[in-house]
Structure 1
Amino acid sequence: MEKTILLEESIHQGILDAKGNKKSPWLWIPTANFASCIPYAMVMTVSVIMYKNMGLSNALIAAATSLLYLPWVLKSLWSPVVDYFSTKRKWMLVTQFLAALCFAGIAICVEMPFFFVLTMAFFWILAFTSATYDIACDGFYMLALSQKQQSWFVGIRSTFYRLASLTSLGLIPIIAGLIQSHTGLDPVKIRAESIMEAKHIVAPVQKQLEPSEKMKIIVFPQDIKLLPGMEKEVQISLSKQPGAGQEVLVTFWFSSGDNKSLKLRKLPPDTKGPRPEEQIVSFAFTQDNWNEAKTVWIASDKKNKEAAFAIFQATSGNIPFSWMVTFFLIALLFAIFSFWHIFFLPYPVADTSLASRQSKDSTFRSFFQTEFWEVFASFFRKKNLGPILFYLLLYRFAESQLVKLAAPFLLDDRDKGGLGLSTAQVGISYGTIGTMGLILGGILGGFALSKYGLKKCMFWMALAMNLPDILYVYLALVQPESYTIINTCIGVEQFGYGFGFTGYMLFMILCAQGEHKASHYAICTCLMALGMMLPGMISGVICEWLGYHNFFIWVCLATIPSFAILKFLEVDPEFGKRAEKA
């Protein structure tokens, strides 16, 4: 019993470092791995949501943000630089502080005239910084912990990485969306009453608007009285034409009161089929449709037995301001991380630069001429290399295109073929429910692999990853109003992606077997990033050419290569199986 307690204490205490301290891994592992995920998620996914909010085209967004994969594609080329110069600890501290500066730079530039060029410059620096941090963090983890501690804390690392993913893809867009709904144009309140006597109903009269330089939201009527079972249309437009390229998002939502007696609907009364209740409805106005009234309906429940009232609001967010505040908050978080780690990251004895360990005759140039190139050469001498490269590059050929257009599709107005969700709703749907589905799929995928092995699971995992793409075809065709249906489809698709991706990860481990395991695995991750970058760059152009519905059909056809390559791969039937207990 005493022996067990001592073992647990040694795991949680940490090992003696170069300064003579034993710093608990709990002081830095959660924060270090939380900080690892956020920049990647911001660069790859949240940037897409932000640029879509700012009114950029799908083609430009997909091409520009897909190029940001390049640092991860090239990561293995400069990983020796991280090993050669300075310590992993210093690299971690410097890159975290640089990340804080990049987030602050994006926050400052997002409201400037040339915001796209300026913010993309900071995203590029952030991408290289994040990739470098990943190299240093992975190496530091192995240097600062014993082998038993590494095994014990691997689940903790994964947990906090996933929590960071939920924060980045869920909480951050929700914060931006909430700021958008409470800033911008002056809000307009609409009072709706459910009454019992018809004599209190008065026909609304639309007032003549006074000339104004200021853009306003026009809502008519603003005072509504309804008998049980009645409903009234509410028209929404703008008083002034937005500027060229400017998009004004107006959100109509339930604010307070009795939302059971008075309900908001987006579909007109003559709609065939169900008309779901809404809590929030969004419309996008541009210089082309600013004076074309968008319509919602407020209905009084036919079962009402007594008077009731509700307040609805029409608001228009200040989109640049919302992202400025959001990125400043992330910059503050990373500044805190960097200062925290100055005091709580240990100083591993083995954490020294390669330059300090080499002889005087050995140079950085000679290192590159010998060991560095041998790592690459040995990888490309692997048996059955052609199918391996094909699989690594094309297994996610469909997903790499879908992932770049999923958020724009959710955000785009229904007139453009999208689903018309608000930024906050996308944060809930794609960032929270989708990420939870992704995590659950990954966990179940790990269980399946450990029981049946990689070879038996490969086809089923490819099916799980690709078959749910057809749900986006359904969403684009039907454009369901039900938020529950939308969330269910996104959750199922992301669950399948998480389940199928575990097989891909294990295959990369298989490819890395032999000498130079860590380096060969890094090369596999670079090829994976390349397979995401190239199709993603052209996905926006294809989508604008085909439209959302046909684009998602194309995505389903693009899944064929991931199935076609499977029979050419050589996989040991026992690889990945959990060892049976004697």
Structure 2
Amino acid sequence: MQKASVNNPWSWIPSLYFGQAIPYVVVMALSVIIYKDFGVSNDDIAFYTSWLYLPWVIKPLWSPFVDMFRTKRWWTVSMQFIIGAALASVALTTPLPGFFQISLAILWLMAFSSATHDIAADGFYMLALPQDQQASFVGVRSTFYRLANIAGQGGLVYLAGKITERTGDKAFAWTISLSILALIFLSLWVYHSFILPRPESDRKVIQGDHYIKEYFATFGAFFARKDILLVLGFILTFRLGESQLIKMVVPFLRDPLAKGGLGLSTAQVGLVYGTVGVLFLTLGGLLGGYFISRVGLKRALWPMVFAVHVPDLMFVALSAYMPQDIVVISAGIALEQFGYGFGFAALLLYMIMVADGVHKTAHYAICTGLMAMGMMIPGMYSGRVQEYLGYHQFFIYICAMTLPAFLMAALVKIDPEFGKKAPASSA
């Protein structure tokens, strides 16, 4: 079994990134839907769920320790067990009077475990695969990451909506749905305990006891880059518009027409946004990874930047015309999500390029921490901005927030050959 897993990345990459997505989906997406179901205001939803990004923002602070102690495989499997237990705990909080406060505390702790898991899993991915396969499998990992979104935002949200319709008990509906998710994740933990390979390169970065020196040297090596300002600017602005949009999509779909929303039910949101939307997001991610592998990241960048941001105009149109036909709504969501999935592959591979080196695990964690900061801070106030502007003006504002990403795309420096796939049949 072990030999097969080394020779065949398909035996572990899909399940690893499916599992990586589950806690993130719960913390960042399901929490918004659940709290909206329980009547929490848009402002509170955006503000408090954006704080849940914090572990991903500050994960670079402890990413060097993942490099310095134990293997990436050990960290990955250990965090999966803790996350599975946390998911089960969240499921038990839904009937409690203080559900909002208690669940936020558990989700915040789970987010720390998930962020640590991301550090280890991404480092493991870079250690277990050669560079040409890393580029080739960007689309694959993105696809299975998105499939977890379908399972979480689509299937389980739809299930929770249907149970609520039958029983009238939202707490019971979400207890069942979250319990299923916990069972799925714990099953993945058992599977990965046996199937993940053990590459020779997966070891501590240092063998001595110079931990403090190594810790600061890791950060020093990253921020000493000559192009560090461009790196920071590109990562922080690439999703500036999306960071605010994503918090208000579900409230927009759920709010009644009188408030400027589209008035969909929970089950319909699970179908339209969590299933159709994520399917097209997944398709876009697959094609994005393939496109980069054929032409390289440099040539792919501009088409992918346009693909991410221009389709945001669909929300301007939806909020202006407020269609009631679910097919029309689904088509608009599908187009926007396809473009985002296609273009996001560029950011993923750019961060892999930036992280290349001895401390690639920690440096990739720094990149993803910066990306999370770019999502967290603007997202915190998106609910307040939306409540002030209304949905239609808010989506116009979102389109304006994409302009810095175009500027940074014009300035950023990329190796013309990076990302091109060598002739192979691995993906």
Q: Is the 8 A contact 1:12 1:26 kept in 2?
A: no
CA distance in 1, matches of 2:6, 2:305: 41
1:337/1:551 Cα in 2 relative to 1: closer, same or farther (>3 Å)? same
Task: Give me the whole-angstrom Cα distance separating, in 2, the residues matched to 1:511 and 1:155.
Answer: 18
Structural mapping, 1:364-403, within 5 Å = 366-368=210-212, 370-403=213-246
Show the 5 A alignment for 1:162-181. Answer: 162-181=146-165
- 2:173 pairs, out of 312, 316, 322, with 322
Runs of 5+ consecutive residues of structure 2 not aligned to the other structure: none
- Is 1:358 the counterpart of 2:207? The answer is yes
CA contact (8 A) 1:410 1:419 kept: yes
TM-score by length of 2: 0.88
Cα shift at 1:541: 0.7
> The residue matched to 1:529 in structure 2 has which SS?
helix
CA–CA separation in structure 2 for the residues paired with 1:26 and 1:447:
16
Residues 557/26 of structure 1: CA separation in 2 closer, same or farther (3 Å cut): closer
1:415 aligns with 2:399: no
Q: Indicate if the aligned counterparts of 2:72 and 2:123 stay in contact, CA closer than 8 A.
A: yes
Matched, 1:12 2:4: yes
- Say which is worse superposed, 564-573 or 43-52, in terms of deviation: 564-573
Q: Which residue is 1:228 aligned to?
A: none
Paired position in structure 2 for 1:454? 297
Percent of aligned positions with the same letter in both sequences?
46
Equivalent residue, structure 2, for 1:486: 329
Tell me by how many angstroms 1:73 deviates: 1.5
- 1 or 2, which has the higher strand percentage? 1
- Structure 1 gaps, min length 5: 1-8, 16-23, 185-317
What displacement does 1:569 show? 2.3
What SS class does the counterpart of residue 507 from structure 1 fall into? Answer: helix
Deviation digits for residues 533-565 of structure 1, max 9, x if unmatched? 111111011011111111111111111111223
Equivalent residues in 2 for 1:110-509, closer than 5 Å? 110-140=94-124, 157-184=141-168, 318-342=169-193, 344-345=194-195, 348=198, 354=204, 358-359=207-208, 362=209, 366-368=210-212, 370-509=213-352
Q: How many Å separate the matches in 1 of 2:359 and 2:334?
A: 38
Q: Supply the AA of the counterpart residue of 1:500.
A: G
Q: Residue 266 of structure 1 corresponds to which residue in structure 2?
A: none
Taking the aligned partners of 1:338 and 1:512, their CA distance within structure 2 comes to: 27
Q: 1:75 is matched with which residue?
A: 59
Which structure is higher in helix share? 2
- Specify the code of the residue in structure 1 equivalent to 2:263: G
Deviation of 1:458 after TM superposition, in Å, equals 2.8
Cα distance between partner residues in 2 of 1:496 and 1:81: 36
Alpha-carbon distance in 2 for matches of 1:97, 1:440: 30
For 1:351 and 1:575, the matched residues in 2 are separated by 22
Instruction: Answer yes or no: is the 8 Å Cα contact 1:142–1:150 preserved in 2.
Output: no
SS at match of 2:323: coil
The structure having more radius of gyration, on CA atoms, is 1
2-side partners of 1:123 and 1:579: how far apart? 41
In 2, are the aligned partners of 1:29 and 1:157 still within 8 Å (CA)? yes
Cα distance in 2 for partners of 1:137, 1:530 equals: 20
Deviations 1:519-538 (A, max 9, x none): 32222111111111111111
> Is the 1:100–1:334 Cα contact (8 Å) retained in structure 2?
yes
Alpha-carbon spacing, 1:158–1:394, altered in 2? closer, same or farther (3 Å)? closer
1:546 aligns with 2:395: no
CA separation of 1:13 and 1:397: change in aligned 2, threshold 3 A? closer
Work out the number of aligned pairs and report it. 423
- Offset of 1:177 from its aligned partner? 1.0
Distance 1:453 1:437 in 2: 23
C-alpha separation between the residues in 1 aligned to 2:161 and 2:393?
Answer: 29
Residue by residue over 1:48-87, the C-alpha shift from the partner in whole angstroms, topping out at 9 and shown as x without a partner, is 1111111111111111111111111222221233344445
Q: Secondary structure at the match of 1:182?
A: helix
Check 1:153–1:441 CA distance in 2 against 1; reply closer, same or farther (3 A cut). Answer: closer
Distance 1:550 1:452, change over 3 A: same
State the AA in 2 paired with 1:319: K
Distance in 2 between residues matched to 1:172 and 1:109, nearest whole Å: 17
Code of the aligned partner of 1:494: Q
TM-score in terms of structure 1 length = 0.66
Alpha-carbon separation, structure 1, partners of 2:401 and 2:116: 32
Q: State the shift of 1:169 in Å.
A: 1.9
**Partner Cα distance (1:154, 1:576) in 2:** 10
Alignment partners' CA distance in 1, 2:249 and 2:299? 31
CA contact (8 A) 2:84 2:186 kept: yes
* Deviations 1:445-493, CA, capped at 9 Å, x for gaps: 2343344443343333222211111111111121101101100000000
Residue type of the alignment partner of 1:551:
F
How many Å separate the matches in 2 of 1:353 and 1:578? 27
Higher RCO, Cα 8 Å, sep 6+? 2
Of stretches 34-43 and 113-122 in structure 1, the one that deviates more from structure 2 is 34-43
Provide the C-alpha distance between the structure 1 equivalents of 2:88 and 2:97, rounded to a whole number of angstroms: 17
Q: Deviations over 1:245-299 (max 9, x none)?
A: xxxxxxxxxxxxxxxxxxxxxxxxxxxxxxxxxxxxxxxxxxxxxxxxxxxxxxx
What is the rounded CA distance, in whole Å, between the counterparts of 2:67 and 2:97 in structure 1? 41
Residues 179, 341 of structure 1: CA spacing in aligned structure 2 closer, same or farther, 3 A cutoff? same
Alignment partner, residue 46 of structure 1? 30
Report Cα offsets for 1:153-197 as digits up to 9, x if no partner.
87765554333222122111111111111111xxxxxxxxxxxxx
Distance 1:64-1:571 versus aligned 2 partners, 3 A rule: same
In the alignment, is residue 559 of structure 1 matched against residue 402 of structure 2? yes
Q: How far apart, in 2, do the equivalents of 1:156 and 1:402 lie?
A: 25
CA RMSD of aligned residues (A): 3.1
Equivalent residue of 1:419, what SS?
Answer: coil
C-alpha displacement at 1:89, in angstroms? 4.5
2:106 corresponds to which letter in structure 1? F
Call closer, same or farther: CA 1:373–1:112 in 2, change over 3 Å: same
Change (3 A) 1:111 1:160: same
Residue number in structure 2 paired with 1:281: none
Change (3 A) 1:341 1:508: closer
| Whole-angstrom distance in 2 between the partners of 1:146 and 1:452 | 20
Which residue of the partner structure matches residue 532 of structure 1? 375
Partner of 1:74, secondary structure, is helix
Q: In the alignment, what sits opposite 1:277?
A: none
Task: Go from structure 1 to structure 2 and tell me whether the alpha carbon gap of 1:418 and 1:579 turns closer, same or farther (over 3 Å shift).
Answer: same
In 1, are the aligned partners of 2:245 and 2:398 still within 8 Å (CA)?
yes
For 1:140 and 1:574, the matched residues in 2 are separated by: 24
